[in-house]
Structure 1
Amino acid sequence: MVSRFKLPLWIAAVSPEEGVCQGLQFSYGVHPCCEQVNARDWSAFARNWVHHHGLQEDGLAVLVQGPSPEHPDANPSVEIITPVSGADPS
Structure 2
Amino acid sequence: MVSRFKLPLWIAAVSPEESVCQGLQFSYGVHPCCEQVNARDWSGFARNWVRSHDLQEDGLAVLVQGPSLEHPDANPSVEIITPITGTCPS
- TM value normalised by structure 1: 0.95
- Alignment: residue pair count: 87
Unaligned runs of 5+ in 1: none
1:58 maps to what in 2? 58
Local SS of the residue matching 1:83 = coil
For residues 12 and 56 of structure 1, the distance between their equivalents in structure 2, rounded to whole angstroms, comes to 14
Consecutive unaligned residues of structure 2, counting only runs of 5 or more, are none
Determine the structure 1 residue equivalent to 2:20.
Answer: 20
CA distance in structure 1 between the partners assigned to 2:77 and 2:28 by the alignment: 22
Cα distance between partner residues in 1 of 2:5 and 2:20: 20
For 2:86 and 2:9, the matched residues in 1 are separated by 22
Answering whether residue 84 of structure 2 is matched by residue 84 of structure 1, we say yes
Quote the sequence identity (%): 90
In structure 2, the residue corresponding to 1:74 is in which secondary structure? coil
Q: Structure 1 stretches (4+) deviating beyond 4 angstroms?
A: none
AA aligned to 1:52 is S
Aligned-residue CA RMSD (Å): 1.0
